[in-house]
Amino acid sequence: MKTLDTLKPLTERLLEVQHLHSAASLLSWDQETYMPPGGGEARADQLSTLQTMAHDKLVSPEIEALLAKWVDQATGQALEIAGDAWDEPSRALLREVWRDFSRAKKLPSDFVKKLSRECSLAQQIWAEARKKSDFKLFLPNLRTIIALKREETQYLGYKDSPYDALLDTYEPGATAAQLAPLFAALKDRLVPLLNRVVASPVKIDDSPLTRSYDPSRQVEFGKLVLTAMGYDFDRGRLDLSSHPFTTSFHPTDVRVTTRVYERELPACLFSCLHEGGHGLYDQGLDQARYGTPLGEALSLGIHESQSRLWENCVGRSRPFWHCFYPLLQRTFPDQLGDVTLDRFYATINRVAPSLIRVEADELTYNLHIMLRFEIEQNLIEGRTQAEDLPAIWNEGMKNCLGLVPERDAEGVLQDVHWSLGAFGYFPTYTLGNLYAVQFYDQACLELPNLEAEIEAGRLTVLTKWLNQKIHRWGRSFTADHLAQRVTGRSLSPEPFLAYLEKKFGTLYGLIGSDTGRETQRRA
């Protein structure tokens, strides 16, 4: 039996590629946190060089020769060599390296360099355009990036839609054709649910969340929650950035960021839970496999499942706040002394159509994604032009959520993704929402005391389960295989829809009293 030891000539080379990626990640982290404003252009050049070198090292003749020896280039599967088979980790490693290599090989080095540089610059222009709510400022860069991404789909190749080539970057194997019915199923039940919630006589006043909350105390509370989740500050840190994110340079150095608004308590709180979920995944990857696909997160959808599980299934649940609300009240006695746990639970779960995706409630969130999914398909398939985006966006928002943004900053300019060239990224948010509930339901089944543990603040029971089931495996399995291993079935919108219908049905008095809390969901 051949093992990972045989692959050492390959993994040693991959480690160098990883070091370049890790360095590039630090450069990006710094760009978002501490870089002085004047440093942007030089940073774009530096990032572009690192990313191009990483690309060139991955598609080097040395790696190509090793893969040619070990991988069947038609199927992408490991070759049996002289009757000697590979063990399971080796087969997974070869399958995934082949995937990375063959995708990278299709992209010319000059193209990688150009794309990286354009994105790094566009990101800074986008930030300025959003600040000024001036779409025209961003338009030339956006046009360039769309053209480059369309060019990229031609290099990568695809079966049905060029958009699939990009989707596959973030969610291996996903296609627009598979996602469309999934979104349709969500829409079919979410829109009626939303209508019933909006029509409900239950009105939730969330004004306590907009009282004045000292920013540094908010951050301290975020750290407390992160620590309780098992996020290790010896191997990570929490900083501020305009857009919260998580980045990892190695399982021993995984950083999360948050943002804090004095009069918006949820912003810091839930971004800490959210990024903490991402952070636990990255800290939980197998250190011994660093630099290989087995030491990398499976996909963005699976990554997002971890953040949404913590943010929503845990962080917006009663058991969690049973433990943490008294601590939050003690941190903000003047602001929350008169707010009961029940009322607080309601405020953080209030449903209301809104303009900004990252502030959307659990019910409307996927409608925001749906809009982006449609728009970016049309852009990449060439049916929509960049200059028409503000109008298309506003029309879509009106149809989906009955709202029209007054400023592009609150509309088409709100997200960073397109400036980064990250077309095909948004759908992974919805996949993450669905996986999150499917995984969490399973955790509740397998850990029958989970709710009691969470009520007692022992969140790491869940962290350990997630690590055993998901984190430590890296890219050993495909997403579908993982879902089957962990939950016994492929991804389905059903658990997610049942969760929402139960939760908001109860909260908005659509299905009887709230006394049973969330325990029934587990039945």
Binding residues vs its own copies (CB under 8 A): 15-16, 19-20, 22-24, 26-27, 30, 34-39, 41-43, 45-46, 49-50, 53, 232-237, 239, 249-250, 252-253, 255, 290
Closest C-alpha to 141, from 358, 389, 427: 389
Cβ-based nearer residue to its own copies, 30 or 338: 30
Closest C-alpha to 361, from 227, 507, 216: 507
- Minimum distance between the CB of residue 24 and its own copies, rounded to whole angstroms? 8
d(CA 7, CA 289): 12
203 φ/ψ angles, rounded to the nearest 5 degrees: -115, 130
- Minimum distance between the CB of residue 134 and its own copies, rounded to whole angstroms? 22
| Tokens coding 39 | 């440093």
* Secondary structure (3-state) at 257: strand
Active site residue 64: no
Cβ-based nearer residue to its own copies, 149 or 255: 255
- Minimum distance between the CB of residue 413 and its own copies, rounded to whole angstroms? 24
d(CA 253, CA 238): 11
Cβ-based nearer residue to its own copies, 61 or 337: 61
* Secondary structure (3-state) at 2: strand
- Minimum distance between the CB of residue 178 and its own copies, rounded to whole angstroms? 37
Q: Are 18 and 287 in contact (CB under 8 A)?
A: no
Alpha-carbon torsion 260, 132, 29, 248, what sign? Answer: positive
| 72-91: b (≥16 Cβ within 10 Å) or e | eeeebebeeeeeeebeebbb
Q: Which of 96, 275, 296, 304 is catalytic?
A: 275
- Minimum distance between the CB of residue 19 and its own copies, rounded to whole angstroms? 4
d(CA 193, CA 187): 10
Cβ-based nearer residue to its own copies, 237 or 502: 237
Which residue(s) pair with 237 in the sheet?
A: 255
Closest C-alpha to 476, from 297, 252, 254: 297
Q: Are 280 and 306 in contact (CB under 8 A)?
A: yes
Cβ-based nearer residue to its own copies, 53 or 145: 53
CB atoms inside a 10 Å sphere around CB 111: 16
- Minimum distance between the CB of residue 28 and its own copies, rounded to whole angstroms? 11
CB atoms inside a 10 Å sphere around CB 330: 11
Closest C-alpha to 500, from 372, 360, 397: 360
- Write the DSSP assignment of 380-422 as a string of letters: HTTSS-GGGHHHHHHHHHHHHHS---SSGGGTTTS-SGGGGT-
| Tokens coding 274 | 């959210």
Closest C-alpha to 308, from 345, 285, 281, 341: 281
Cβ-based nearer residue to its own copies, 47 or 371: 47
| Tokens coding 520 | 């029934």
**DSSP secondary structure letter of residue 459:** T
Cβ-based nearer residue to its own copies, 251 or 432: 251
Residue type present at position 456:
A
- Minimum distance between the CB of residue 12 and its own copies, rounded to whole angstroms? 11
d(CA 409, CA 411): 5
Q: Are 212 and 258 in contact (CB under 8 A)?
A: no
Cβ-based nearer residue to its own copies, 15 or 177: 15
- Minimum distance between the CB of residue 472 and its own copies, rounded to whole angstroms? 17
- Minimum distance between the CB of residue 283 and its own copies, rounded to whole angstroms? 9
Cβ-based nearer residue to its own copies, 292 or 347: 292
Residues with a known catalytic role: 275
